[in-house]
Amino acid sequence: MSGKLTGRGVSGAGARDGKMPGASRAKEPLKSIVLIGNPNVGKSVVFGLLTGKYVTVSNYPGTTVEVSHGNMSLGGRRYLVVDTPGVNNLLPMSEDERVTRDILLAGRPDLVVQVGDMKNLKRTLCITIQLAEMGLPAVLDLNMEDEAMDSGITVDKEALAGILGITVVGTVAPERRGVKELIAAILKGATAPEVIVDYGGAEEYVGKIASFLPPSHISGRSIALMVLAGDKSLAGWLKANLDDEAIEAIEALRDECALKLGAPMGLYINEARLKKAAQIAAGVFQKVPRRENRLVSILGKATIHPLWGFPFLLLVLFGLYEFVGVFGAGTLVDFFEHFIFGRYLNPMFTKVFGLVPVPFLRDLFVGRYGVITMALTYSIAIVLPITTTFFIAFSILEDSGYLPRLAIMTNRFFNMMGLSGKAVLPMVLGLGCGTMAVMTTRILEGKRDRLIAIFLLALAIPCSAQLGVILGMLSALSMKALAIWLLCVISILLVSGWLAARILPGERSEFFMEIPPLRKPALRNVALKTMNRAVWYLKEAVPLFILGTLVLFVLDKLDMLRLMERAASPVVVGVLGLPPKTADAFIIGFLRRDYGAAGLFEMSRQGLLTHLQSLVSIVTITLFIPCLASFFIIVKEKGFKVALAMLAIITPAAVVVGGIMNWVLRYFNVSV
Amino acid sequence: MHEDLYKTRAAPETEKRQFEDEALETLWEILERSGQASSGGQAPLERLTSELKDEPAILGMQKDGLLTIKDGKVAFTEPGRLRARDITRRHRLAERLFADILALPEYEVDACRFEHAISTEVEEAICTFLGHPPTCPHNRPIPRGKCCKLYTSKVTPLVASLADSHVGEEFKVVFLRTPMIDRLAGIGLVPGAVIKLIQKRPSYVVKVDETTIAVEEEVAKGIFVKKA
């Protein structure tokens, strides 16, 4: 990690603070509250409760990769609440963890609410210790009290509060239990926890290094410990705040200390903290072993079983196919498209606009490329029901905790593509939405892993809208077609991942992942999440659908469309063996892949495509360039050059693969 | 071999030998800290004399062909280097044995005495028994022996990597040797922690307290445990 990049990251966090919503409007400065905690302990749920703002909540570590801000009004005061990605250590090891540390370092939180898993008190306390070292005022929220009780765990909160010198509350956030007490604790204000860890032989060096450090919002002792532990991401901050001489002196001290103690300092410091945490926990933590819930323990085993895990995965996929492909893309789309739009809305609007004397305007809304007859019909009647059913199924999977278990099953598979099993998370999330998934790659350690994952996402992972449409088209063909499509996409993933892994320098990071417990998805969260995603879809996709339609409309009116279709025909007709009109679908596919897919869906339903042509077009559009939104997010995460390079590889690759498919299917006379 | 041992039992001989061992070991450590133990570097003579406080005896070692001293710098001869390597290995193996298995609080002192007394056979047996540990309790590398390369064992190692352990059992972590060390420590998997191995395939699944993690075989190979 280069110092320059890091420096920007740290100051970036500060700059973002300056732009915090409402900061300039409020008369007195907003007090800021930062939520900190281990991964997957429910920070986002607590955030939602405090601010009334929904941020995605799921049952796996790494759901929150970006910082969210929200406002809270309490007792006449307004607070700014910040939700952060989970960390196990304030010594960052991946990009999402760095974000959190930087907020504590460069942002100036007035209060830290540490959310912890009551079951995992030791790990929770490791962070409390670090907050104590930083000297940040904190309140400790031990969440998931219900799960702790189910597994026979009790924590003496009062005794713990006595030891730590801060307020400790127990909550069950999804049920709002204990939230009143939490808010009361926040209102009361807080001081820094009082825990002191003795680092033995390192103490001397901690003191010496701290004496070189500039005054900061957090204590010099804590920064000195970060330096000693070998935190390279601090380099930028040090460079910005100290002269070269001081940095050299600090580095010399760090090396001397490591030499003297003869141990990796990161581990040395960590062990000292864990020891202290265990010592505190021993006095307040009690566990009476209880028998596990039968169903949960059977499912827990089956989902990761070396043998049964795979049939289980197939079962899940089959369920997804039935629900999204058959029910969503079949039954629901039929209902919306043929019944609501076909029988009522479109005829009605056609009649209404029929009264408009200007043919141009009439065509604009209800013509062949009309905003209502095409853009709204596609987006609302075809894609919305599909994405909504997908989001429902997906939310259930997310909240159950099944997705990270997939990583266990698929690690070897991902190894072949130069990735670790952890990459399964962004990949599967990519089936929901590519933009979201590209951001989630931040949970991967190592830049190389991230780059490969983003490339594969852009190339071969269809997003929910596209996937739904594709499943809908395939369900109208045959199981054989589905199998061919699946096989083709998976081999493309494998081959391109394999190639990328060999071309890019460096090595993949080793597989390490926390597996959350299986949980029963809460109906409320599934509904809320689906709603949020559907609304987000409408906001994001519909305008682009309308824009795409307008482009087609204008091209059509200028008679350019025919020319473009003809210009594209050597590729579309010659290579891919598709009717010239499919060029339309690929043109709008540049805006959104799912819109292109919807165009193909429509053509296939109208019988304009043979089965073979359907299959070829589906494969091509699956691989086709990423949608505009995910292109922009790739630019944001990896820079314009990388994004453009990906585009330059992906588009021709899609056509080539489609062409090969067309040729092979025809040559061997395969009927699908 | 046994004859050798009998010969060195004579009291003044033993004393001399022990001093030589100490000196060689000290020089090995000094060179190791400056990162040149394996390459055969040199160190200022005064560092050695200040630690051992017996300059004539050190100079005597030059005569015995164990060290070379030139311009105030001291270096190993090849036989000296090999012996230093051996003694360091024995010392650190002894530390491991005393610290991890016997849980003796004063393991360092005992290791100093023990290192002079054991034969190659005993040393290899201990190494195998401990599962060929890569580092001493201070995390300094243990020079590899013949047995580590062969990796064939008649003795069942008491300390084994997680990859060689049985599914479903509970273990106590003895030491870690993986680049993942900080990540593992972050979730509480450090030496001394009690863990349970849930499964090995398709990936390793390990439970630490209330946390479940998945790792691949490469990482599991670097987690050394003994039965809890």
Q: Which residues contact B103 (CB under 8 A, 6 or more apart)?
A: none
Q: So what's the pLDDT on residue B11?
A: 66
Set of chain B residues whose Cβ sits within 8 Å of the Cβ of A88: 183, 186-187
Say whether A407 and B211 touch across the interface (CB within 8 A): no
pLDDT in tens, A441-482: 888 877 888 899 999 988 888 887 788 788 888 888 888 888
Q: When comparing pLDDT for A274 and A30, which is higher?
A: A274
pLDDT of residue B210: 85
B47 touches chain A (CB under 8 A): no
- Residues B202, A151: C-beta atoms closer than 8 Å: no
User: Do the Cβ atoms of A101 and A13 come closer than 8 Å?
Assistant: no
Mean pLDDT in chain A?
Answer: 84
> Mind listing the pLDDT tens digit for each residue in A484-499?
998 999 999 999 999 9
More confidently predicted of A650 and B182:
A650
Is a pLDDT exceeding 90 seen at residue A284? yes
Nearest C-alpha in B relative to A229? B182
Q: Tell me what pLDDT residue B5 has.
A: 45
Q: Does A478 touch chain B (CB under 8 A)?
A: no
**pLDDT digit string (tens) for A499-525?**
988 888 887 888 888 888 888 888 888
Show residues of chain A in contact with B214, CB under 8 Å. 304, 404, 407-408, 411, 421, 511-515
% chain B with pLDDT above 90: 7
Per-residue pLDDT reduced to its tens digit, A35-66: 999 988 888 889 988 888 877 777 777 777 77
Q: Which two tokens stand for residue A13?
A: 């966090």
- Give chain B positions within 8 Å (CB) of A118: none
Do the chains contact at B210 and A421, CB–CB below 8 Å? no
Residue B115 — very low, low, confident or very high, per pLDDT cuts 50/70/90? confident
Instruction: Give the H/E segment covering residue A635.
Output: helix A628-638
Residue A271 contacts B where some CB pair is shorter than 8 Å: yes
Assigned CATH for B89-150:
1.10.10.10
Query: For residue A143, what pLDDT band results from cuts at 50, 70 and 90?
Result: very high
| Contact list, B184 vs chain A (CB under 8 Å) | 512
Minimal Cβ distance to A267: which of B140, B181, B201:
B181
pLDDT value for A197: 92
The ranges assigned to domains in chain B are 2-81, 89-150, 160-227
pLDDT tier at B20 (50, 70, 90 boundaries)?
A: confident
The residues, ordered by sequence, that sit 6+ positions from A142 with a Cβ below 8 Å of its Cβ are: A116, A117, A118, A121, A124, A148, A155, A157, A168, A169, A170, A171
Flag the least confident range among A3-7, A42-46, A118-122, A125-129: A3-7
Report pLDDT digits (tens) over A313-328: 889 888 888 888 788 8
Percent of chain A with pLDDT over 70: 95
Is residue B8 scored above 60 in pLDDT? no
**Predicted ipTM > 0.85:** no
Residues from chain A contacting residue B205 (CB–CB below 8 Å): 304, 408, 515
Above 90 in pLDDT, residue A132? Answer: yes
Identify which of A271, A306, A420 has the shortest CB distance to residue B201: A306
Confidence of residue A663 (pLDDT cuts 50, 70, 90): very high
- What kind of architecture, by CATH, is found in domain A200-287? Orthogonal Bundle (1.10)
pLDDT for residue B151: 57
DSSP A348-399: HHHHHHHT-S-HHHHHHHHSTT-IIIIIIIIIIIIIHHHHHHHHHHHHHHHH
Distances (CA, A) of A612 to A482, A485, A577, A665, B75: 12, 11, 9, 8, 78
pLDDT single digits (tens) B62-94: 888 888 888 888 888 888 888 888 889 999 988
Task: Return d(Cα B218, Cα B184) in angstroms, integer.
Answer: 14
**Of the ranges A86-90, A611-615, B104-108, which is most confident?**
A611-615
Is residue B156 very low, low, confident or very high in pLDDT (cuts 50, 70, 90)?
A: low
pLDDT attached to residue A168: 94
Contacts of B185 in chain A (CB under 8 A): 89, 266-267, 270-271, 274
Angle between helices A359-366 and A346-354 (to 10 degrees): 170
A263 → closest Cβ in B139, B212, B214 = B139
Over the Cα atoms of chain A, what is R_g? 28
B138 touching A (Cβ < 8 Å): yes
Q: What's residue A3's pLDDT? A: 34
Q: Which residue has the higher pLDDT, A452 or A605?
A: A452
In the DSSP assignment, the letter for residue A422 is: G
pLDDT at B147 over 50: yes
3-state secondary structure of A262: coil
Q: Which residue has the tokens 């079949």?
A: A330
Query: Which pLDDT score, from 0 to 100, does residue A282 have?
Result: 92
A56 and chain B: CB distance < 8 Å anywhere? Answer: no
Nearest CA in chain B to A411: B203
Are B33 and A151 a contacting pair at CB < 8 A? no
Q: Are residues A511 and B214, on separate chains, in Cβ contact within 8 Å?
A: yes
Q: Please indicate whether the domains covering B2-81 and B160-227 agree at the CATH topology level.
A: no
- pLDDT value, residue B157: 67
- Stretch A634-647: mean pLDDT: 88
Residue B202 and residue A408: Cβ atoms within 8 Å? yes
CATH architecture, range A3-188: 3-Layer(aba) Sandwich (3.40)
* The pLDDT value given to residue B146: 77
pLDDT of A26 above 60? no
Looking at residue A54, what DSSP letter applies? -
pLDDT value of position B195: 92
Residue-wise pLDDT for A184-202, tens only, equals 999 888 899 999 999 888 8
Whether B191 contacts chain A with CB within 8 A: yes
Residue A276 near residue A195 (C-beta atoms within 8 A): yes
Instruction: Give the integer Cα–Cα distance in Å for A427 and A434.
Output: 9
Average pLDDT in the A19-35 region? Answer: 62
pLDDT digits (tens, 9 = 90+) for B165-208: 888 889 989 888 887 888 888 888 888 889 999 989 888 999 99
Under CATH, what is the fold of the domain B2-81? Arc Repressor Mutant, subunit A (1.10.10)
Q: Does A117 touch chain B (CB under 8 A)?
A: yes
Q: What is the mean pLDDT of residues B218-223?
A: 89
Domain ranges of chain A: 3-188, 200-287, 309-667
- Comparing CA positions, the residue from A599, A530, A389, A621 lying closest to residue A54 is A530
**Contact yes or no for A273/A197 (Cβ under 8 A):** yes
- Per the document, the length of chain B is 228
SS3 call for A173? helix
**What superfamily in CATH does domain B160-227 come from?**
Ferrous iron transport protein A (FeoA) (2.30.30.90)
Please list every residue in chain A whose beta carbon sits closer than 8 Å to the beta carbon of residue B218. 510
Which positions 418-447 of A are in contact with B (Cβ < 8 Å)?
420-421
Q: Do A267 and B201 touch (CB under 8 A)?
A: no
CA distance B187 to A514: 9
pLDDT of A18 > 80? The answer is no
> What pLDDT is recorded for position A2?
34
- Looking at residue A36, its amino acid is I
Q: Are strands A111-117 and A138-143 parallel, antiparallel or unpaired?
A: parallel
In B, minimum Cα distance to A39 occurs at B187
Chain B residue nearest residue A303, CA to CA: B202
User: What is the 3-state composition of chain A as percent helix, strand, coil, each rounded to the nearest 5?
Assistant: 70, 5, 25
**A585 and chain B in contact, CB less than 8 A:** no
